[in-house]
């Protein structure tokens, strides 16, 4: 373990550290990020440690045979573990081979441990060539502040954040921290102007600099302080929503955000279903991982680099012009420290057309893909691929297109308050999962059926029984694949594959026939 790791592992943030950071912010009059504050704290602690060591050893000299010493001098011996000892006696040396020199006797910590060394030695000696300015005193080590922070970054930043949040004198805005007492006054007039500016810009998004430029600024204060003060005022006013990804501050008028962004549509809402995960076989767990539903218990290492991902389009996302923010997608789409909604640009990978997208991270979906779906006539079950762009605020959405051809597709048609299905020909020009593709010519009827299922809290087993009964008619063995069941369940009720599979395997009404196919059990 390196010195940096050992030092960082022992670092605990004190009240003195917070006082130092407060004074630093007051002196600089510039907001600083958490990382910048942590580095400043570490640099100061290392400086204090070095000063204390220098003060402790201010009267200690590094022993060199060529130098002269007096009784009482404190010497440090580099060839003896950097031990420090006082000179207690001095006498003339007696060795014709070395000429005139002195002999000093020093007393180490052990009273019985006296040792003699040459001094004022004229003949060459390796220790006489020692550059004393490069010698580290006991306890003194060379530590790079950046290396120290990197070695325990997560813990240090988390501890510092908690200490700062508990400190009423320093406030955070958009990833920066600053003393409350130095924040510039932003009055109601400034805020009303900001609202009007955003209104003319169709709600936003706009940077704080752009808003300040049109507002006329906040006096002669440094630009960074004006930005921080405006951000602080905007964040306290419900008319404004901070929608920028981490590292960027963008503002939007709350009242002009799409309703599907401000409130999660009922079609996308998942009410957790209790089930026993141990019921799932390895085959089922593999399927669950392949489907990668945003509500499945799937995690990916935060350090894993993912630049593209593919999802299979489900009915609720096709219906609401969204796509899921599953485990892989969460690595691709930009994050924000505190903003619950992040504004992004969605780029059509087929023709480059841009549209506004919204990342609703807490509820795990991205809104704004409706035009993309409609333009390319993408069916439920289509494969959608998402790529990162060089600009983290731009996301490329794509699919594998081919010349449209006629395919048989099962269409959902409500009948007697249940789902019924019929096969009809449809022209499809996108690669899709043949086990998950669905369609409907009666969106209003399907919406009413889904609303009824939610209102009546229709059990998952009842929905699956309806699917196996109706879908089974298209198979000679009356079997239906788990992928099909999962896709169709989500027409009526948002549900990840885990509860669906657990219900299939635990309910005696359903019979497993192998290869993830199921049918109704014979009575």
Q: What is the pLDDT of residues 423-441, one digit of tens each?
A: 999 999 999 999 999 999 9
- Rounded average pLDDT over 71-93: 86
What was the pLDDT predicted at 181?
A: 84
SS3 of 485-519: HHHHHHHHCCCCHHHHHHHHHHCCCEEEEECCEEE
Q: What is the DSSP letter of 432?
A: B
> With bands split at pLDDT 50, 70 and 90, how would you rate the model's confidence at 356?
very high
What was the pLDDT predicted at 139?
A: 64
What was the pLDDT predicted at 172?
A: 83
**Tokens at 404, concatenated:** 């449209």
Give the domains, in start order, of the chain with CATH numbers.
3-56+142-180 (no CATH), 60-134 (2.30.30), 188-257 (1.10.10), 272-293+407-415+436-523 (no CATH), 301-399 (2.40.330.10)
CB crowding 24-57: b at 16 or more within 10 Å, else e: bbeeeebbbebeebbbbbbebbbeeebeebeeeb
- Rounded average pLDDT over 359-374: 93
CA dihedral 275, 278, 281, 284 (to 10 degrees): 40
Q: Which of 232-236, 325-329, 380-384 has the highest average model confidence (pLDDT)? A: 380-384
What was the pLDDT predicted at 492?
A: 94
What was the pLDDT predicted at 130?
A: 82
- Rounded average pLDDT over 21-32: 86
Place of tokens 């894993």: 304
- Rounded average pLDDT over 444-451: 93
CB crowding 192-206: b at 16 or more within 10 Å, else e: eebbebbeebebbbb
- Alpha carbons 314 and 312: distance in angstroms, whole number: 6
Determine how many CB atoms are found less than 10 A away from the CB of residue 351: 8
What was the pLDDT predicted at 79?
A: 80
What was the pLDDT predicted at 48?
A: 85
pTM of the model: 0.73
- Whether the per-residue pLDDT at 303 is higher than 70: the answer is no
The two counts, helices (H) then strands (E), for the chain are 17, 24
Under a CB-based contact definition with an 8 Å cutoff, are residues 27 and 171 in contact? no
Sign of CA dihedral 225, 231, 232, 233: positive
Q: What is the average pLDDT value for the chain, to the nearest integer?
A: 89
Under a CB-based contact definition with an 8 Å cutoff, are residues 515 and 475 in contact? no
- Lowest mean pLDDT of 8-12, 64-68, 184-188, 512-516, name the range: 8-12
Terminal-residue alpha carbon distance, the chain = 67
In percent, the amount of the chain with pLDDT more than 90 equals 52
What was the pLDDT predicted at 302?
A: 67
- Rounded average pLDDT over 106-131: 85
What was the pLDDT predicted at 448?
A: 93
- Alpha carbons 449 and 470: distance in angstroms, whole number: 16
What was the pLDDT predicted at 149?
A: 86
What was the pLDDT predicted at 379?
A: 95
Under a CB-based contact definition with an 8 Å cutoff, are residues 505 and 512 in contact? yes
For the packed helices 153-165 and 15-28, what is the interaxial angle rounded to 10 degrees?
80
- Residue-wise pLDDT for 459-501, tens only, equals 999 999 999 999 999 999 999 999 999 999 999 999 999 999 9
- Rounded average pLDDT over 127-144: 76
- Whether the per-residue pLDDT at 328 is higher than 80: the answer is yes
- Alpha carbons 224 and 470: distance in angstroms, whole number: 64
């Amino acid at each position: 373990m390196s010195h940096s790791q050992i030092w960082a592992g022992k670092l605990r943030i004190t009240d003195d550290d917070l006082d130092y950071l407060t004074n630093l912010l007051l002196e600089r009059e510039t907001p600083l990020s958490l990382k910048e504050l942590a580095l400043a704290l570490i640099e100061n602690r290392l400086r204090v440690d070095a000063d204390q060591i220098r003060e402790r050893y201010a009267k200690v000299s590094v022993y060199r045979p060529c130098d002269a010493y007096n009784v009482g001098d404190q010497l440090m011996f580099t060839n003896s573990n950097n031990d420090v000892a006082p000179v207690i006696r001095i006498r003339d040396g007696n060795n014709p081979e070395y000429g005139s020199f002195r002999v000093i006797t020093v007393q180490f910590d052990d009273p019985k441990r006296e040792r003699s060394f040459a001094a004022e030695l004229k003949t060459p000696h390796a220790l006489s060539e020692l550059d004393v300015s490069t010698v580290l005193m006991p306890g003194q080590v060379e530590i790079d502040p950046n290396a120290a922070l990197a070695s325990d970054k997560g813990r240090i930043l988390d501890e510092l954040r908690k200490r700062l949040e508990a400190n009423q004198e320093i406030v955070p805005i958009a990833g920066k921290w600053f003393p409350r007492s130095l924040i510039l006054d932003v009055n109601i007039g400034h805020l009303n102007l900001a609202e009007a500016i955003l209104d003319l810009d169709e709600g936003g998004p706009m940077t704080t600099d752009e808003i300040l430029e049109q507002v006329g600024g906040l006096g002669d204060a440094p630009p960074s302080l004006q930005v921080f003060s405006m951000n602080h005022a905007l964040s306290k006013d419900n008319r404004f929503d901070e929608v920028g990804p981490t590292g960027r501050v963008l503002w939007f008028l709350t009242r002009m955000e799409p309703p599907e962004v401000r409130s999660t549509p009922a079609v996308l809402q998942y009410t957790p279903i209790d089930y026993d995960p141990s019921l799932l076989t390895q085959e089922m767990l593999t399927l669950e991982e392949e489907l990668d539903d945003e509500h499945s218990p799937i995690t990916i290492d935060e350090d894993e680099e993912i630049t593209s991902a593919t999802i299979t389009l489900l009915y609720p996302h096709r219906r609401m012009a969204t796509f899921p923010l599953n485990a892989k997608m969460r690595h691709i789409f930009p994050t924000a420290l505190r903003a619950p909604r992040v504004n992004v640009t969605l780029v059509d990978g087929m023709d480059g057309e841009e549209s506004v997208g919204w990342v609703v991270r807490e509820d795990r979906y991205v809104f704004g893909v409706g035009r993309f779906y409609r333009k390319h006539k993408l069916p439920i079950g289509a494969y959608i691929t998402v790529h990162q762009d060089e600009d983290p605020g731009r996301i490329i959405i794509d699919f594998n297109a081919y010349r449209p051809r006629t395919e048989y597709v099962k269409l959902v048609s409500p009948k007697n308050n249940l789902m019924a299905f019929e096969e009809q020909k449809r022209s499809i020009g996108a690669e899709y999962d043949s086990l998950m593709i669905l369609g409907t010519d009666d969106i209003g009827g399907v919406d009413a059926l889904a609303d009824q299922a939610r209102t009546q809290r229709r059990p998952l087993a009842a929905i699956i029984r309806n699917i196996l009964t109706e879908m089974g008619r298209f198979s000679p063995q009356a079997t239906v694949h788990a992928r099909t069941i999962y896709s169709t369940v989500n027409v009526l009720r948002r549900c990840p594959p885990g509860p669906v599979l657990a219900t299939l395997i635990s309910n005696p009404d359903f019979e497993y026939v192998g290869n993830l196919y199921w049918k109704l059990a014979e009575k």
